[in-house]
Amino acid sequence: MRNAALVLGIIAGVIGMAVGFFGYGYTEAIEHFGEIDGLAEQVDNVDRVRLLAVLAPMMAIAGGAMARVRALWGGLLLLGSAAGMYAGFGFNVFTLFPICFAGLAGVLAVAAGKPDEPKAHF
């Protein structure tokens, strides 16, 4: 379960980075070029989108990397990453996989209470 959490967490982070780059770039482009009525409008909370565009994928990659050795900490980071992506970008076709992968990886990491390795978090 820890290996699955590692792989799913890193995949979620990489896909989340693409979503984050687009989200951050979109807010910058609208700020620089201005809004286009009916086509491109600024988001409600620009600072939240920009902050979560950076933090959520970073938390997913870090949580996935930690999942083998410190499953509880990694799992909490992965669950926080899924919540951050949802809060920053919502649940849509672009965020479907990173949110689901990070959430599943978080659940798997937290559920790995009796691992093959001697370090259990329970």
Reported pTM: 0.88
The Cα–Cα gap between 37 and 30 comes to 11
| Token pair 């609208």: residue | 30
Q: What is the pLDDT of residues 10-38, one digit of tens each?
A: 999 999 999 999 999 999 999 999 898 88
Burial of residue 73 (number of CB atoms within 10 Å: 0-12, 13-18, 19+): middle
Q: What is the pLDDT of residues 37-87, one digit of tens each?
A: 888 999 999 999 999 999 999 999 999 999 988 899 999 999 999 999 999
Helix, strand or coil for residue 2? helix
